[in-house]
Structure 1
Amino acid sequence: MSTPQQIRPGETLDVDRTDPAYREWLKEAVRRVQADANRSADTHLLRFPLPEHWNIDLYLKDESTHPTGSLKHRLARSLFLYGLCNGWIRPGRPVIEASSGSTAVSEAYFAKLIGVPFIAVVPRTTSREKCRLIEFHGGQCHFVDDPRTMYEASAALAAETGGHYMDQFTYAERATDWRGNNNIAESVFRQLRLERYPEPAWIVATAGTGGTSATIARYVHYMQHDTRICVADPENSCFFEGWTTGDPDVTCDCGSRIEGIGRPRMEPSFVPGAVDRMMKVPDAASVAAVRALESAIGRKAGGSTGTGLWSALKIVAEMVAEGRHGSVVTLLCDHGDRYLDKYYSDAWLAEQGLDIAPYTHAITSLLKTGVWPD
Structure 2
Amino acid sequence: MSFPAGDPNFSGAKTPAFDTLVSGHARAAFLLEQLAGDLWGELNRMGVDTSPALRIRTLAERARSQATELQTRQSRVHHMQRTKTGAKLCTVEGIFWELSESPTPTPQPGEPAPTDPAKLSIELWDANLLPRAGRLRPDGTPFSREEDAVLSWIDAHRASILAEARKWNVSPQAIAAAIAWEAMKNVKHIPADMLAGTGVGTEVPNASFGPGKVHVDFPLVRQIEERGYLPRRSVPEREKLLSTDEGSIQYIAAIMGAYSKVTEDGWKGPKPYSIRYDVPMLTQLYQGSDLEQWEQNLSTRRKEGDWRTPRIGNPMAEWAGENEEFLNAALPKDPWKVDPTPAKPVRPPGPAAPPLSPSTTPAPRTGPSPTPRWND
Shorter-chain TM-score bucket reads under 0.3
TM-score w.r.t. the length of structure 1 is: 0.26
Larger Rg: 2
